[in-house]
Amino acid sequence: MSNIEFIKQKLGELQSIVNELENRFPGRRFTLDGHLFGSLGEEIAAELYNIELAPVGTKTYDGTKDGKEIQIKITQGSSVNINDVPNHLLVLFWSKQDGDVYEVYNGPCEWLQDCKKTNNRWYTRTLTSLYKENVKISDDKRLAANRDIKKWHPSMKNR
């Protein structure tokens, strides 16, 4: 079993636990986010794109490839928070429905500097806005994946 398949299996198990908790405690949400989910996303990205991960806590980026400093984000929601403007941004989406990972955004992000920060000093971008930026990027500016990865579309939502 590949590392990606192993992580996807474990995410499915974690989602089952979340579902049990939400059924047991109606009205409460138990989302998979934060460090656990982010670290799993970084490992998936490293495997899919041959990214060399940086030490935990490295400011602005999570890994490097071909001289690019890459910030990696994964979400199961509808937006991501970005703290600094990296050389390259890779945003992935994890689908609860099929347990697969989709590429939302893969490219440079100088345009982010022109975006307004939230009150907590983050750049918050919806997946739909990232999708719109992503379609403008030429293939030579993207990180090459070492296997096929499905592309996210605005019609995709987790329920």
Q: Is residue 159, in this structure, part of any structural domain at all?
A: no
This prediction has a pTM of 0.87
- Residue 121: which domain range? 3-151
- pLDDT of res. 94: 92
Q: Say if CB 44 and CB 4 are below 8 A apart.
A: yes
134-142 long-range Cβ contacts below 8 angstroms, 24+ apart: 134/104, 134/105, 134/106, 134/107, 137/106, 137/107, 137/108, 141/107, 141/108, 142/106, 142/107
Q: Is residue 157, in this structure, part of any structural domain at all?
A: no
Q: What is the mean pLDDT of residues 66-73?
A: 95
Q: Count CA atoms closer than 13 A to 59's CA, side-chain side.
A: 1
Q: Say if CB 18 and CB 47 are below 8 A apart.
A: no
25-68 pLDDT tens trace: 888 878 777 778 888 899 999 999 999 999 988 888 999 999 99
Q: Is residue 26, in this structure, part of any structural domain at all?
A: yes
Domains held by the chain: number = 1
Whether the predicted pLDDT of 16 surpasses 90 = yes
Q: What does DSSP assign to residue 87?
A: S
Closest C-alpha to 19, from 99, 133, 128: 99
- pLDDT of res. 33: 74
Here the CATH number for the domain that contains residue 103 is 3.40.600
- pLDDT of res. 89: 96
